[in-house]
Amino acid sequence: MSISRRRFLKSLTAAGVAMAAPRPAGAHGEFAGHPESYGVLQDITLCIGCRLCEKACNQVNHLPAPEKPFDDLSVLEKHRRTDAKTYTVVNRYDIPSYHRSPVFNKFQCNHCQEPACLSSCFVAAYTKTPEGAVVYDASVCVGCRYCLVACPFGVPTYEYREPLEPTVRKCTMCYPRLLEGELPGCVEACPQQTMLFGKREDLIAVARERIRKHPSRYVDHIYGEHEMGGTSWLYISGVPFEELGFRTDLGTTPAPKLTSGALAAVPIIIGVWPALLGGIYVMTRTKEKAAVRDKDSAVRRAIEETQAAADQARKQAAEKAKVEREKAVELAVKKALEKAAKESAEEGS
Amino acid sequence: MSEPANPVERPIFCPFNIIAGIIILVGLGITYLRFTGGLGAVTNLDDNNAWGFWIGFDLLCGVALAAGGYTTAAAVEVFGMKKFHAALRPALLTGFLGYSMVVIALLYDVGRPWRLPYPFVWSPGPTSVLFEVGACVMLYLMVLFLEFSPMALEWLGERKLRRVLVRLTLLLTIFGITLSTMHQSSLGALFLIVPSKLHPLWYSSYLPVFFFVSSVAAGLSMVIFESTLAHRAFSDKMDEEHKRAADAVVLGFGKAAAFVLAVYFAIKTFGVALDDNWGLLATNYGLWFLLEMIGFVLLPCFLFVVGVRDLNPTVIRWAAFLTVLGIVLNRLNICLIAFNWQLSPADRYFPHWMEIGLSVFVVTLGVTAYRFIVTRMPVFYEHPDFSEGH
Amino acid sequence: MSEGFHSLQEFMTHTKGILYLLSLGYLVAFVLFWKYLHDRENDDD
């Protein structure tokens, strides 16, 4: 074998050590997001549940008219989620212990800093734009729906009734309007100015200031500041967020970080497995060949020994036969001589 | 080295063909509905439950149960265990057909199946675990096809091409084992991104390792399970060497499976300890988890041990069957049952009968192809013209 | 510290893309390397 066994084993050990101490993929520093990233600060305490934002969203995005019109507030009796024709919904929460009950919360895509939909998309159909909006490109989408699975907020929706050209549907933060310098439709339409559009950093500062100025009005938390690594849609509320249907157990680990460890193992397996398996193959073949060689030589030796023993036995038998023949000849000669002697003795007298 | 039995002339309307025919007709009907009415017309999928029975069973279970290909190839070609040689071709055939069935099922599940090549030729999303799954499955299907092709080429009498392919065996085997390690584990890694949706007893940073180790057990068990079925259905196609080797394969693979299941049980336990989830075992989901672990991992492990120690192939075959059920249960748990566990009951998912119908259709296609191949090609016997194979 | 990448996602897209290509190249190189090492020994092995 050309690779010395020692060198091979050394490289195995190195690989083993490298695998035993997995380090998460990615830089050691923090990523700050795009400096010019915009966002929306949603002040839940201001919302009156008029649904004008839903109507504006529907119009701006040219979505089909819903079953019940937007001024029908009876829809608020049930909690709704987004669907293929509805990018945003307002839900009502009756909280008896809260003096400003009922509370209304507008639900839509949070435009995460490290979107799970983007991370999970194997065809790169999502983009986190520098403006902060997370947008979807239907022209490459294969329809695998992993983004629906991955989104911790349960935002994206799918056209399950579309047979050949289904797309994923979700809030776009009115990205085309942003590029024109306009506000998202819902932000503009809100009569209470529940939503404030601006640079994400500024919005966080505004939120902090509002909470600081009115501590009895707000819960001391900006939802979206750190959740899942931070979102561009930020919320402040008068009641604890879990009472408004927010997931408060999501943690701050961004989605890409959740899979970076497993993905990091891939090139290592590609690097190590062929060598490992090839090495095992060579080692078992060598062992087999050595075993075959040993067996062969043992068989050969056995044959030789048997042969030698047979030769020896034959030689001995030949010797013995010779000795016996000589003795027989001697005896015959002796007998003949005796007979001759007797005959000559009888003739003589 | 013995002569293959002559292919028995089966009547066109034998029971298998009739049942398979009905299933295929129903499947074609579902196909029509799927591509005229969308997924919503044939499934119970919705925005909360975007992955259902087709992903849970056809993809996740299908890939795990087709793992016999790489495990047997590893044993025979890499570890040089010649006594399992008779099991190699059937295992590779099952692997090839199994992965083909997975791809067929995916053609129904994804919204635009003709775009499936997009990530690899046009717009890659390399941070997606699904990208890695897709790339590996695609490459592995090619490897399996090449490993299967000598059987077809022998049937067709194509000597030269067959020789070229046989020379590639070691390379294909090593590549296949590498690819299998990656995609078996990556199917588990798919769920790393949803700690908030998968029940903590099943969610773990070790998910990829769990999936890989259990796939080995699945592969070994499926080889045993299928050899049991094949010996009942196709023993007239088997040569003496194959029949004689059957028990050796069952005992050998049973011993390996005992080890693998024991290891799997241990590392799953470590997983519970890692996240300090002992308290959850006392919940309803906890009991369900214990059922999966004790009834379908520990129990078959114990049965494998008994079967190996007592040299009892029957016990081993039952252990294999239980293991296969356990793998199916595990994958369905992770994808459908323990997934979205926090949703209200009204929002939970249960498959539409047409989803199950389509899965049965796809499996039937695979079984039909298997039947066609083993009754004509040298899978269970050595082709007399090519017996210099080993 | 950000090295021109604004998010972990951007960073990983960059690194994973390179790694996949490197892995492909490695597999080809490995086969060639193996053949090179084993060629001389085919007589006595």
Task: Enumerate residue ranges in chain A where pLDDT < 50.
Answer: 1, 18, 20-28
Q: Is the ipTM of this complex over 0.85?
A: yes
pLDDT tens per residue, chain B (390 residues)?
444 444 555 677 888 889 999 999 999 999 999 999 999 999 999 999 999 999 999 999 999 999 999 999 999 999 999 999 999 999 999 999 999 999 999 999 999 999 999 999 999 999 999 999 999 999 999 999 999 999 999 999 889 999 999 999 999 999 999 999 999 999 999 999 999 999 999 999 999 999 999 999 999 999 999 999 998 888 888 888 888 888 899 999 999 999 999 999 999 999 999 999 999 999 999 999 999 999 999 999 999 999 999 999 999 999 999 999 999 999 999 999 999 999 999 999 999 999 999 999 999 999 999 999 999 999 998 888 876 544
Cβ–Cβ contact B124 with C under 8 A: yes
Which of residues A218, A253, A288 is at a domain's end?
A253
Instruction: Give the closest residue to B219 by CA, choosing from B249, B239, B244, B243.
Output: B249
Cβ–Cβ contact C33 with B under 8 A: no
Record: contact C17-B126, CB cut-off 8 A: yes
Question: What are φ and ψ of residue B183, in 5° steps?
Answer: -80, -30
Q: Are residues A101 and A247 in the same domain?
A: yes
pLDDT for B5 equals 46
Give the C-alpha separation, A300 to A232, whole Å.
Answer: 82
**Cβ A186 vs Cβ A53: under 8 Å:** yes
Give the C-alpha separation, A156 to A144, whole Å.
Answer: 13
Give the C-alpha separation, A102 to A100, whole Å.
Answer: 6
Record: contact C34-A114, CB cut-off 8 A: no
Give the C-alpha separation, A37 to A35, whole Å.
Answer: 6
Cβ–Cβ contact C30 with B under 8 A: no
Q: Are residues A105 and A13 in the same domain?
A: no
Record: contact C8-A266, CB cut-off 8 A: no
CB pairs under 8 A between B and C: 16
pTM of the model: 0.89
- Collapsing DSSP to helix, strand or coil, B94 comes out as helix
Most distant CA pair in chain B, distance: 64
Question: Which residue of chain B comes nearest to A144, CA vs CA?
Answer: B110
CATH, range B20-384: 1.20.1630.10
CATH number of the domain to which A64 belongs: 3.30.70.20
Record: contact B126-C16, CB cut-off 8 A: yes
pLDDT for A13 equals 60
Residue written as token pair 């079953």: A67
Q: Are residues A280 and A179 in the same domain?
A: no
Cβ–Cβ contact A229 with B under 8 A: no
Q: Are residues A41 and A5 in the same domain?
A: no
Q: Are residues A54 and A165 in the same domain?
A: yes
Give the C-alpha separation, B69 to B66, whole Å.
Answer: 6
Give the C-alpha separation, B367 to B223, whole Å.
Answer: 15
User: Ramachandran region of residue A82, left (φ > 0), alpha (ψ -120 to 50) or beta?
Assistant: beta
pLDDT for C1 equals 45
Question: Which residue of chain C comes nearest to B179, CA vs CA?
Answer: C27
Q: Are residues A166 and A284 in the same domain?
A: no
**Residue B192: is it exposed, middle or buried by C-beta count within 10 angstroms (0-12/13-18/19+)?**
buried
**Cβ A289 vs Cβ A148: under 8 Å:** no
Which of residues A253, A280, A303 is at a domain's end?
A253
- For chain B, the chains sharing at least 3 beta-carbon pairs closer than 8 angstroms are A, C
pLDDT for A337 equals 93
Length of chain C: 45
Q: What residues does each domain of chain C span?
A: 8-42
- Please tell me what DSSP assigns to residue A112: B
Length of chain A: 349
DSSP secondary structure, B155-200, as one string: HHT-HHHHHHHHHTHHHHHHHHHHHHHHHHHHHHHGGGG-TTTB-T
Per the structure block, which two tokens stand in for B246? 């059957």
For A235-246, write each residue's pLDDT tens digit: 999 999 999 999
Which residue range forms the structural domain that includes residue A121?
Answer: 31-253
Task: Give chain B positions within 8 Å (CB) of C20.
Answer: 124, 126, 135
pLDDT for B329 equals 98
In this complex, the residue of A30, A114, A266 whose CB is nearest that of residue C9 is A114
Instruction: Give the closest residue to B295 by CA, choosing from B335, B268, B322, B258.
Output: B322
Cβ–Cβ contact A110 with B under 8 A: no
**Cβ A268 vs Cβ A18: under 8 Å:** yes
pLDDT for A18 equals 47
Cβ–Cβ contact C30 with A under 8 A: yes
CA A187 to chain centre: 37
pLDDT for A263 equals 96
Record: contact B39-A160, CB cut-off 8 A: yes
Cβ–Cβ contact A268 with B under 8 A: no
Cβ–Cβ contact B112 with A under 8 A: yes
pLDDT for A90 equals 97
Instruction: Give the closest residue to B322 by CA, choosing from B288, B356, B290, B298.
Output: B298
In this complex, the residue of A27, A256, A278 whose CB is nearest that of residue C3 is A27
Give the C-alpha separation, B101 to A308, whole Å.
Answer: 65
Instruction: Give the closest residue to B76 by CA, choosing from A288, C35, A275, A210.
Output: A288
Element (H, E) at A158: strand A157-158
**Section C1-10 average pLDDT:** 80
**Residue A138: is it exposed, middle or buried by C-beta count within 10 angstroms (0-12/13-18/19+)?**
middle
Cβ–Cβ contact B128 with A under 8 A: yes
pLDDT for B241 equals 81
pLDDT for A29 equals 57
CA A19 to chain centre: 16
Task: Give chain B positions within 8 Å (CB) of A274.
Answer: 174-175, 178
In the β-sheet with A38-43, what is the strand arrangement from edge to edge? A195-199, A38-43, A233-236
Task: Give chain A positions within 8 Å (CB) of B41.
Answer: 161, 163
Cβ–Cβ contact B15 with C under 8 A: no
Instruction: Give the closest residue to A81 by CA, choosing from A73, A91, A71, A72.
Output: A91
Distance from CA of A118 to the nearest CA of B (A): 8
Q: Are residues A156 and A55 in the same domain?
A: yes
In this complex, the residue of C8, C30, C34 whose CB is nearest that of residue A256 is C8
Q: Are residues A121 and A241 in the same domain?
A: yes
Per the structure block, which two tokens stand in for B90? 């059937």
Per the structure block, which two tokens stand in for B342? 């926090």
Record: contact C13-B127, CB cut-off 8 A: yes
Residue C43, pLDDT > 90, answer: no
Record: contact B126-C31, CB cut-off 8 A: no
**Cβ B255 vs Cβ B360: under 8 Å:** no
Q: Are residues A39 and A183 in the same domain?
A: yes
Residue written as token pair 């799997």: B264
Element (H, E) at B367: helix B353-374
Q: Cis bond leading into A166, ω under 30°?
A: no
Instruction: Give the closest residue to B111 by CA, choosing from A118, A153, A138.
Output: A138
What is the domain count for chain A? 2
DSSP secondary structure, A16-77, as one string: HHHHHS---SS-SS-----TT-EEEEEEGGG-----HHHHHHHHHTTPPPPSS-TT-GGGGG
Q: Are residues A18 and A67 in the same domain?
A: no
Give the C-alpha separation, B192 to B213, whole Å.
Answer: 17
Instruction: Give the closest residue to A197 by CA, choosing from A213, A178, A179, A212.
Output: A178
Q: Are residues A213 and A81 in the same domain?
A: yes
**B282 CB neighbour count, 10 Å cutoff:** 9
